[in-house]
Amino acid sequence: MESTHVERLSALGHPRRLAVFRMLMRRYPDAVPAGEIAAVLGARANTLSSYLSDLRQAGLIAQIRQGRSLLYRADMEQAGGLLGYLIEDCCRSRPALCPTSSPHGSPTAGGPFMTHRPYNVLFVCTGNSARSIFAEAILSDIGGDRFHAFSAGTMPQSQLNPMALQVLAANGHDTSCLRAKNVDEFRAPGAPALDFIFTVCDRAANEDCPAWPGQPISGHWGQPDPVKVTGTEPERRLVYHQVYGALRRRIELFTTFDFTTLDRLAIQRAVDDLSTQEDPQ
């Protein structure tokens, strides 16, 4: 068993293999095509193939065949086993080294994770002009007093997308207070302590950003970028409505969870299950 952990640590000891693993963790539970991984990390196909093979052999990632394509996903169970070995065996479960609290001091395992409310939820995409704005508006309206919804972009646009605003208005949302924001606003002193962070575009999830303070629960609800869709205005508008509908379905389910009765692991699993939900065509 120890030799297995040594092999996994060795696989992660190479900076480029570590970059592949970290990207797949950010995209979990998505399975990502090798070509996309290569494009994001700027790796040659043959070099990436070697990295993926080493990580697979170490048991840290899984390979999934989809038609003629090969996709890769982080193996959460094996990654958890490695972390357990480091914390419990190597470090003897020393309290100073074990993460045990949420932003609000609640236990992260073994008992209810979130006994406070409202819960602060941040939705992130690249431009913060459509998808994350949709999510912020939806949760603000249907979340009641249980949630405070926010959105931000890693490279925010100066203005919100006009068609996105039209779709929100058509669905009864007040858009007067919405604006594009940079994620840095939520890392600054005085920013709200975040309980949940959801990336809603693959590009934002692929980016190598610093870890968020306070150990918020994270999830990836990647949606296609409606801003990039070409065609007639009715065709483009249809895509905006489809993205809006997909996000609304996830958020409606998310708001049904009773976080006061779930521990951190159960909440993370529930969030991951929402990520894998297929959207109607």
Closest Cα partner for 34 from 47, 19, 49? 49
Do 78 and 60 contact (CB within 8 A), yes or no?
yes
Q: How far apart are CA 160 and CA 25, in angstroms?
A: 30
In this structure, how many other beta carbons lie within 10 angstroms of the beta carbon of residue 154?
Answer: 20
The predicted pLDDT at position 280 comes to 53
Q: Which contacts qualify for 167-172: CB closer than 8 Å, 24 or more apart?
A: 167/134, 167/237, 167/240, 167/241, 167/244, 168/133, 168/134, 168/137, 168/244, 171/244, 172/141
The predicted pLDDT at position 212 comes to 85
pLDDT tens digits for range 67-86 = 888 999 999 999 988 988 88
The predicted pLDDT at position 104 comes to 43
Q: How far apart are CA 277 and CA 247, in angstroms?
A: 11
Residue ranges covered by each domain of the chain: 2-77, 119-275
The predicted pLDDT at position 238 comes to 96
Type of residue numbered 35? G
Q: How far apart are CA 236 and CA 232, in angstroms?
A: 6
Three-state SS string over 112-164 comes to: CCCCCCCEEEEEEECCCCCHHHHHHHHHHHHCHHHEEEEEEECCCCCCCCHHH
Q: Tell me which CATH code domain 2-77 carries.
A: 1.10.10.10
Q: How far apart are CA 125 and CA 223, in angstroms?
A: 10
pLDDT tens digits for range 8-27 = 999 999 999 999 999 999 99
Q: How far apart are CA 95 and CA 18, in angstroms?
A: 27
The predicted pLDDT at position 213 comes to 81
Name the stretches of the chain with pLDDT < 70.
Answer: 1, 93, 95-115, 278-281
Q: How far is CA 256 from CA 131, 132, 134, 270, in A?
A: 21, 20, 19, 11
Q: Which residues contact 125 (CB under 8 A, 6 or more apart)?
A: 131, 132, 151, 153, 154, 199, 200, 201, 203, 204
Q: How far apart are CA 175 and CA 3, in angstroms?
A: 56
CATH number among 3.40.50.300, 3.40.50.2000, 3.40.50.2300, 3.90.180.10, domain 119-275: 3.40.50.2300
pLDDT tens digits for range 208-228 = 887 788 889 999 999 999 999
Type of residue numbered 111? G
Would 2-77 and 119-275 be classified into the same CATH topology?
A: no
The predicted pLDDT at position 197 comes to 96
Q: How far apart are CA 259 and CA 266, in angstroms?
A: 9
